Amino acid sequence: FRAMADGKLLPLIVFSIVFAGVLTTMGRRGESVSQLVLGLNDALMKFVMLLMKVAPLGIFCLVAAQFGQVMGDEAFTEKLGSLAWYMAAVIGGLAVHFFVTLPAILFLFTRRNPYRFIVQMSEAVLTAFSTASSSATLPVSLECAERRAGVSRRSVEFVLPLGATINMDGTALYEAVAAMFIAQGLGIHLGPVEQATIVVTATLAAIGAAGIPQAGLVTMVIVLSAVGLPLGAIGLLFTVDVVLDRFRTAVNVFGDAVGAAVVEKAFRTIGVGRAD
Ligand code: ASP
């Protein structure tokens, strides 16, 4: 409770994971607590949605203040320029992950042709890009992975729904870049320990993000507070987040499909029942 009151998110995450794990071992006795937590979650989500209605005004004030402080002239274009670099860094990183790392993992574990796999999953990737939501893309991902890419139903149904909420490599990458951008913009030097903390917290924050538009921006708070960066800087990132969200969601969805193909292979190797 003290961690909650002090806004210390890492201890809260660790506690929640262990607490939820314990609940799963309690059978029926744990059910009422689970229901209470689920109900609280739904209520808080509604509350956040309500707040989001006034968010545009708040964001306008935050961003206008940031740009106002630099008082036009060169500093203004400099700020815009750094924002463009930030976007390029996020999109470049995501592109490397999408076209190099994930295909390499797919090939290494399954010997599938990774670029054919990209084409087979293209409809899901494009849907993710246009909806910016892994959860909304789930039906299309299921269809593409099973029908077009030929991944076994057993693996697809096990991995994709899980992946849509917890496996977000694009979001993790984005959150790490964003934290570094904020630190550099403010001239704060982050040593190896802080950078390692960013890697760990960005991964945890991405796991905690829901598969809905701009959820990653909300969980950024975890990363920034873990290394003591000011939360107000998120306002500046918000201005370009509509664009970046689409790219990272496409990577998230493709990452899930690669996961499904790898798990299918693992099922076959260890001989867990028939593949379908
Ligand atoms: N929009 C992303 C997704 O649904 C989550 C995020 O905001 O990073 O996968």
Q: Which two tokens mark 18? A: 């262990």
pLDDT band per the 50, 70, 90 thresholds, residue 275: very low
Rounded to whole angstroms, the Cα distance separating 102 from 111 reads 13
The number of the ligand 1 atom at minimal distance from the alpha carbon of 132 is 1
Task: Compare 190 and 256 and report the one with higher pLDDT.
Answer: 256
What mean pLDDT is predicted for residues 227-249? Answer: 86
Q: Which of 52, 134, 166 to mutate to test the pocket of ligand 1 (most atoms within 8 A of CB)?
A: 134
CB 206 less than 6 A from any atom of ligand 1: no
pLDDT band per the 50, 70, 90 thresholds, residue 144: very high
- CA–centroid distance, 27 to ligand 1, in Å, is 32
> Helix 134-143 and helix 234-270: axis angle, to 10°?
30
- CA–centroid distance, 30 to ligand 1, in Å, is 30
CB 127 less than 6 A from any atom of ligand 1: no
State the pTM of this model: 0.78
User: What's the angle, vertex CA 171, arms to CA 235 and CA 265, rounded to 5?
Assistant: 175
What mean pLDDT is predicted for residues 179-204? Answer: 89
pLDDT band per the 50, 70, 90 thresholds, residue 72: low
Task: Compare 274 and 1 and report the one with higher pLDDT.
Answer: 1
Q: Which of 190-194, 229-233, 236-240, 269-273 has the lowest mean pLDDT?
A: 269-273
Nearest residue to 265 via CA among 162, 161, 155 = 155
> How many helices (H) and strands (E) in the chain?
13, 0
Q: Whose CA is nearest to atom 8 of ligand 1?
A: 216
Across the chain, mean pLDDT equals: 86
